[in-house]
Structure 1
Amino acid sequence: MSRVDPEPTLQDEAARAGWLYYVGGMTQDQIAAELGVSRQRAQRLVSRAMAEGLIQVRLNHRIGACMDLEAALRDRFGLTRCRVVPGLGAGSDPVRAIAPAAAAELERFLRMPDPMVIGLGTGRALRGLVDAMGPAEAPQHRLVSLIGNIAPDGSASFFDVVMRIADKVRAPHYPMLVPVISPTPQERAAFHALAPVQRVLELARAVDVLFVGVGQMGADAPLLADGFVSAAELAQMQAAGAAGEIAGWVFDSQGRYLDLGTNDRTGGVRVEPGLDRPAIGIAAGASKVSAIFGALKSRILNGLITDDATATALLART
């Protein structure tokens, strides 16, 4: 089977613009806002979709099926933002497929002229987003980490991204200089009592938009693989119904945060359900479906970037 290039092509963009115009009923101004492009480019993309024969009775392009999935996810979970991309097939890393779409979504916010505070989680998906980004100038925005960046051995967390993004976009950034998970609640409280940490926590709680990964809590849990929890701690949380984690905070299959395990020692800011700001999850893969579903159901997340196989699995759940 041939591999699908995860980078969106000009034809991909034209297909999406054509679907929004002819099926979605949007104006060219609305399409421009949705895609984060100028009105003139939106007009050219719609014209190209027609000229290349992408628009017939239905959209003759794989993006059409993805956009149907986007619409279904929006309706099912009340999402404010949603992007579904074609997957790369069995055995491939789903991050490679979703990273360019995630980068494009973050870049859309970075291009906005009014200053914003952008909150960032960590993890493999966020690291993929950074790698897919191009250099830009966005000094009007502030970037803040939602999660601690100190590993158990005292080193910086490998998947922390706030400094890497700041380097690319020349924006002020605020790392969360606390352990991802402290050994005791008392030590966590001591870190949070420090004045510089309090200022970063305050900023992180007031973000205008946030981008986070979603971790699973099975045997392959990132928290375990990266050494932040022990096998015994993981087993305790699994017994209590742990299904996923966002920014280190563990929740069950219904998206309810646990009152045990590592949640009383997690160093960063918890993403509360029902935020009135964009809370966008970047995640894909069969092992993450239960975690993503819980986060969407409880509205910890109100936006999602994923692949078509994951979207189909989410819609199949009851």
Structure 2
Amino acid sequence: MNDLTFDPKLRRLDLAARAAWLYYIKRRTQDEIAVELNVSRPNAQRLVALALSEGLVRIRIDHPLTKSIELGERVRERFELTFCDVAPSGARGNDAPSGVAHRAAELLENFLSPKTPQVLAFGTGRTLREAARLVSTMSRPDHKIVSVVGNLSRDGRASPYDVVMRLSDRVGAQCYPLPLPVIVDTEEECAILKAQRGYRTLQDLYEQADALMFGVGRLDEHAPLLIDGFITPEEFDATRRLGAIGELTSRSFDASGRVIDDAIARRLTAMELRRSPTRPTILVASGREKAAALRAALVGRLGNGVIIDEDLAEALLCDAQ
């Protein structure tokens, strides 16, 4: 007779395999497994755990979101994030909201759901604007929705990517826009505007905000700041010469995530960015073309959470290798 038949370790693995088959395939309870294998209930529980630890059980999740979930976990671990949500990538019509916008809307509803007063602060951007439109209507008259970036060009034209007014209308919240040019002509003018009572009120609310959500902007020839006329080509070129690779709330940063402080930055009316935030600071972006900008923002600890799509997640992980 083969002596291996009586090997206690192999015998226990046999029992573990039987316990796992009963638990995962037959859907038996641990009490039922204990009776069938003639062991105690705690022992039945340990046998199922042993089957997992020894690799006797392989769990496969068969769902369209499996890839998104796996990518999200890898991005979260790679950049040490507290929150990461990855939406499936896919073709969509010009008027159809993106998966990222839907996910951002869901998170916004979570932030807005408490009836106790909340302060939420926002940047701007196409995806954030879509998300605000998708938020379910509700009544939150004690909540405050705050903009941290100006919404005008220097000639007085309004930004097409305003978020706070749209969102405030959806949820009946108090709206605090920043009705100033994104960038002004002189540092002196900027200082005067920031000294106004209304600006200081918004600044205080920004510091008190329970959560923040910013769109991530690229700084290349397709940069919205340039295309939409918020900064001149000369200002754009000067920022690029200093290594600017992306922007949050119109404030540019380089590949290391260092916020650039130059003469242009000192004429911006946007609130200052905070590194290593302790409150939820969610960066929202989609598309591989945002990879360099988003990666720099995460390396610089300018946010602690992201909502992105699969294409961008894959590009982030590829760049990080």
Aligned residue in 2 for 1:50:
none
**Is the 1:143–1:172 Cα contact (8 Å) retained in structure 2?**
yes
Supply the distance in 2 between the matched residues of 1:239 and 1:200 (Cα, whole angstroms).
Answer: 32
Offset of 1:113 from its aligned partner? Answer: 3.1
From 251, 258, 267, the equivalent of 1:265 is 267
The residue that corresponds to 1:105 in the other structure is 107
Which residue identity lines up with residue 150 of structure 1 in the other structure?
L
Partner of 1:210: 212
Alignment partner, residue 174 of structure 2: 172
CA contact (8 A) 1:284 1:307 kept: yes
Greater mean deviation of Cα atoms: 152-161 or 98-107: 152-161
Write the distance in 1 (CA, Å) between the matches of 2:256 and 2:91. Answer: 28
2:157 alignment partner in structure 1: 155
Give me the whole-angstrom Cα distance separating, in 1, the residues matched to 2:96 and 2:286.
6
Q: Relative to 1, partners in 2 of residues 1:293 and 1:148: Cα closer, same or farther, differing over 3 Å?
A: same
Query: What is aligned with 2:306?
Result: 304
Percent identity between matched residues is: 37
CA–CA distance in structure 2, aligned partners of residues 249 and 95 of structure 1: 26
1:232 and 2:241 are equivalent in the alignment: no
Deviations 1:72-121 (A, max 9, x none): 11111111111101111499799622111110010011012332210011
The residue number in structure 1 matching 2:90 is 88
Q: What is the one-letter code of the residue matched to 2:140?
A: A
Match of 1:135 in 2: 137
How far apart are the structure 2 equivalents of 1:57 and 1:70?
19
- CA drift of 1:174 comes to 0.9
The partner residue of 1:200 within 199, 202, 210 is 202
- Say which of 70, 79, 82 aligns to 1:77: 79
Aligned to 2:292: 290
Structure 1: state its 5+ residue gaps: 1-21, 23-55
Q: Is the 8 A contact 2:133 2:166 kept in 1?
A: no
**Structure-2 separation of matches of 1:191 and 1:166:** 24
What SS does the aligned partner of 1:214 have? strand
TM-score (ref. length: structure 2)? 0.78
Tell me the distance in 1 between the aligned counterparts of 2:148 and 2:66. Answer: 34
Structure number with bigger Rg: 2
Cα distance in 1 between the residues matched to 2:308 and 2:64: 15
User: What do the CA deviations read for 1:127-166 (whole angstroms, capped 9, x no partner)?
Assistant: 1112222211222321110111222221322211111100
C-alpha spacing 1:151/1:306, structure 2 compared with 1 (3 Å): same
TM-score by length of 1: 0.79
1:263-316 C-alpha deviation (Å, 9 max, x unpaired):
111102122110100000110112211110011111101110010010011011
Q: How does 1:16-35 map to 2 (within 5 A)?
A: none
Q: After the TM superposition, which of the residue ranges 208-217 and 281-290 deviates more from structure 2?
A: 281-290
Give the conservation status (yes or no) of the 8 Å contact 1:285–1:310: yes
Q: Mean alpha-carbon deviation: is it higher for 92-101 or for 65-74?
A: 92-101
Q: CA separation in 1, counterparts of 2:223 and 2:263?
A: 14
**C-alpha spacing 1:91/1:129, structure 2 compared with 1 (3 Å):** closer
Structure 2 counterpart of 1:126, from 128, 148, 164: 128
Measure the CA separation in 1 of the matches of 2:114 and 2:89: 29
CA RMSD of aligned residues (A): 2.0
What stretches of structure 2 of length at least 5 have no aligned partner?
1-23, 25-57
Q: In structure 2, how many angstroms separate the alpha carbons of the residues matched to 1:200 and 1:75?
A: 34
Query: How many residue pairs get matched?
Result: 264
Q: Distance in 1 between matches of 2:275 and 2:92?
A: 33
Name the structure 2 match of 1:66.
68
Contact 2:251 2:259 in 1 (8 A): yes
